[in-house]
């Protein structure tokens, strides 16, 4: 398999993970997860677009994937640190002992998205030279 096509599948899988994380956050947190929902939905949609253009052999899509990864590391890092540094919420052990609090769900989902984004970015940076050299010399005309 050509390296840029493998990178496109990696970016596509990351987009699916981001959209699934948005769905989990929306289900458990409701409107309290608005910033997390917007970031994850935009990232998932952008990942589908970038993955498509990577699969078509566009060098600009690879640069866009790197820029998106760096931007999302910063955004998700801010959300994760905000969720982590929030005031602890006491849990009433008699009622709703198993119900997750919105702060806990926000911390879990944003940190999972941050870890997935860092893994994507590291793998794209490690294999940047083979991916970039594997693009076709002439851009396809369609």
What is the tens place of the pLDDT at every residue in 36-87? 899 999 999 999 999 999 999 999 999 999 999 999 999 999 988 888 887 5
- How many angstroms separate the CA atoms of 121 and 129, rounded? 14
Q: What is the value of pTM for the model shown?
A: 0.83
CA 3 remoteness from chain centre: 21
The number of residues in the chain equals 142
Average pLDDT over residues 9-30: 92
Cα 114 versus chain centre, distance:
7
Query: Coil, strand, or helix at residue 58?
Result: coil
- pLDDT of 92 reads 44
Q: What stretches of the chain show up as alpha helix (H) in DSSP?
A: 3-29, 34-55, 59-84, 102-126, 128-133
Q: Please name each of the domains of the chain with its CATH number.
A: 3-85+101-133 (1.20.1260)
How far, in Å, CA of 48 to CA of 15, rounded? 6
Nearest CA-CA partner of 83 in 120, 64, 109: 109
| pLDDT classification of 1: cutoffs 50, 70, 90 | confident
Task: List the one residue out of 66, 54, 65, 110 whose CA is nearest residue 84.
Answer: 110
Q: Between vectors from CA 86 to CA 84 and to CA 90, what angle results, nearest 5°?
A: 105
């Amino acid at each position: 398999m050509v390296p840029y096509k493998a990178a496109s599948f990696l970016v596509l899988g990351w987009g699916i993970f981001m959209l699934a994380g948005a769905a989990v956050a929306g289900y458990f947190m409701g409107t309290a997860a608005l910033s997390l929902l917007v970031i994850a939905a935009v990232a998932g949609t952008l990942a589908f677009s970038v993955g498509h253009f990577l699969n078509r052999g566009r060098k600009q899509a690879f640069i866009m994937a790197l820029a998106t990864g760096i931007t999302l590391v910063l955004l998700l890092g801010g959300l994760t640190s905000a969720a982590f540094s929030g005031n602890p919420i006491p849990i009433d052990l008699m009622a709703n002992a198993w119900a997750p609090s919105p702060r806990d769900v926000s911390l879990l989902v944003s940190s999972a998205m941050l870890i997935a984004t860092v893994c994507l970015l590291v793998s794209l940076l490690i294999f940047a030279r083979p991916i970039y050299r594997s693009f076709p010399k002439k851009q396809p005309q369609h």
